[in-house]
Amino acid sequence: MTSKEIRQAFLDFFESRQHHIVPSAPIVIKNDPTLLFTNAGMNQFKDYFLGNSVPEFKRVVDTQKCLRVSGKHNDLEEVGVDTYHHTMFEMLGNWSFGDYFKKEAIEWSWLLLTEVFKIDPDKIYVTVFEGDEKEGLPFDQEAYDEWLKWIDKDRILKGNKKDNFWEMGDTGPCGPCSEIHIDCRSESERKEVAGEDLVNADHPQVIEIWNNVFMEYNRLKDGSLQVLPAKHVDTGMGFERLVRVLQNKQSNYDTDVFTGTIQEIEKIAGKKYDGSDSKEAVAFRVLSDHIRAVAFAIADGQLPSNTGAGYVIRRILRRAVRYYYSYLHVEEALLHKLIPVLSSQFESVFPELNLQMDFVSKVIKEEEESFLKTLEKGLKKMDDIVRNPQQDRVIVGKNAFELYDTFGFPIDLIRLIAGENNFTVDEEGFEAEMHKQKNRSRAATTVDTEDWIVLSAKDGSDFVGYNDLLIETRVSRYRKI
Ligand code: ATP
Ligand code: MG
Ligand code: MG
Ligand code: MG
């Protein structure tokens, strides 16, 4: 099956079980002070779970663009090094808002994976919450019993609070979760039961694909738990991981989700991707991953900038530039050339990229060219610092700040290059220098140019939604910045 067919089969399966298909929310969040980017399918439904609004449909299904590069979920450092954590990924999800619960959710997960997608049941492990006496949380007997109807008891593992209990925050809806893991090792290796040593243990071939969260409690301010009158199901399946399993690959980057972009990079760089652990292969993976995050964030209204969410996007973009410059030896802007491939690949599912293709390419190209101007000098500076460190194996705060301020190196890029040289960064010293500079420039502060301000008639701080997108306005706005 192609990735397109796999996505569609997921949506169709739940649609035929009375789920309403909804579009992905934007990857950029403009109206929630607790979150910069969508990092899970449930974000757009948060108010239903909190009881702040009433859902129009009790059953919903979608594929949600997610970004995990900041806050509670930050996978940036794994990306490209492993083959299954991305910055931007699609989370397939089905929801029940006070409707069906564990029985249906578990049965449908099983039927979809084994009957529609025909995954060999001998490759599947599931986990259920083992309970936590100290917290007064019970073992999830109900989920265990439901799984037992479908799968051998040796394949049902018990997991702790960290992996198998989900909470939105210190208070609010929460509940146990049940995850599905796929053992992609060869048949002979699979004879040895995976068990706890391999499941949830960062094994590159035994990977988590789906999380089923059962919201059944409300955590109160005093820490106690109240049973919710209406129980909800919230699930999230990593689309790229599912495709990898179904296309029988050892890496997400070998699936048709990524091969189009990788082939384009091969053409531009005049090099072949070999899937190894070499720096060059990591660079291929990083580029084909990061371009998605940057492109979809811009298409959803977040321009690269020097503050907040915009700076997160700039950091990802600069990280990618450094990878192609240092490891593929490409010295000209490359990322923007990948946009046509991406936009046609996602045209039917996320049309916002195709609709704004020229704009997105232009923004990325300008960003790349501007960083490439200082990159070489910055890398030389970094080299000098590493050769003559002011402190043994440490990039001192002053040096780190100079790299940041003069050469535009984001701190995580400095950290990355430092690590490659077995150096660490004096982060406190860096922060202190940053603080000093802020004080110096405070007097001359101008208004912070957040990227969407001009677009909102009201006060500029709200995301205005696709219907109100005025691409031309944004182009001219960008020119002004
Ligand atoms: P992991 O343990 O692999 O980091 P997780 O437990 O943090 O995953 P969940 O929060 O349970 O992930 O999200 C639901 C699903 O989304 C996961 O089962 C996985 O398939 C997928 N997923 C999570 N993080 C990523 C990522 N960075 N890239 C790609 N898919 C991801
Ligand atoms: Mg994770
Ligand atoms: Mg996990
Ligand atoms: Mg999980």
Q: What's the gap in Å between 196 CA and the centre of ligand 2?
A: 17
Q: Please give the residue range of the domain that contains residue 82.
A: 3-246
Are residues 138 and 182 located together in one domain of the fold?
yes
Domain contains 53: yes
Type of residue found at 230? A
Q: What is the domain-level CATH number for residue 155? A: 3.30.930.10
Domain contains 389: no
Name the closest ligand to CA 202. Answer: 1
How much is the ipTM here?
0.99
Query: How distant is the alpha carbon of residue 58 from its chain centre?
Result: 26
Q: DSSP letters of 63-75? A: EEEEE-EETTEE-
Answer whether 208 contacts ligand 1 (Cβ < 6 A): yes
Answer whether 86 contacts ligand 1 (Cβ < 6 A): yes
Answer whether 238 contacts ligand 1 (Cβ < 6 A): yes
Domain contains 280: yes
Final residue of a structural domain among 214, 246, 278: 246
Domain contains 211: yes
Final residue of a structural domain among 215, 246, 277: 246
Are residues 216 and 356 located together in one domain of the fold?
no
Between CA 254 and CA 247 the distance in angstroms is 9
Atom of ligand 1 nearest to the CA of 87: 27
Are residues 213 and 318 located together in one domain of the fold?
no
Final residue of a structural domain among 380, 409, 441: 380
Answer whether 127 contacts ligand 1 (Cβ < 6 A): no
Are residues 341 and 274 located together in one domain of the fold?
yes
Are residues 231 and 276 located together in one domain of the fold?
no
Between CA 289 and CA 89 the distance in angstroms is 9
Q: Does the predicted model carry a pTM greater than 0.80?
A: yes
Ligand 1 pocket check: which of 208, 242, 286 to mutate, most ligand atoms within 8 Å of Cβ? 208
pLDDT at residue 193 in the model: 66
Domain contains 152: yes
In sequence order, the β-bridge partners of residue 212 are 178, 235
Atom of ligand 1 nearest to the CA of 236: 14
Q: Which two tokens stand for residue 351?
A: 């049309």
pLDDT at residue 443 in the model: 52
Answer whether 180 contacts ligand 1 (Cβ < 6 A): no
List average pLDDT for each run of 10 residues in the chain, which is 481 residues long: 98 98 94 87 90 93 96 91 97 97 98 98 96 92 98 95 89 93 90 75 92 94 88 97 97 98 98 97 98 98 94 96 97 98 97 97 97 95 94 95 94 94 96 88 47 32 34 34 28
Name the closest ligand to CA 289. Answer: 1
Q: How many structural domains is the chain composed of?
A: 2
Are residues 127 and 216 located together in one domain of the fold?
yes
Domain contains 65: yes
Domain contains 427: no
pLDDT at residue 471 in the model: 34
Domain contains 94: yes
Answer whether 304 contacts ligand 1 (Cβ < 6 A): no
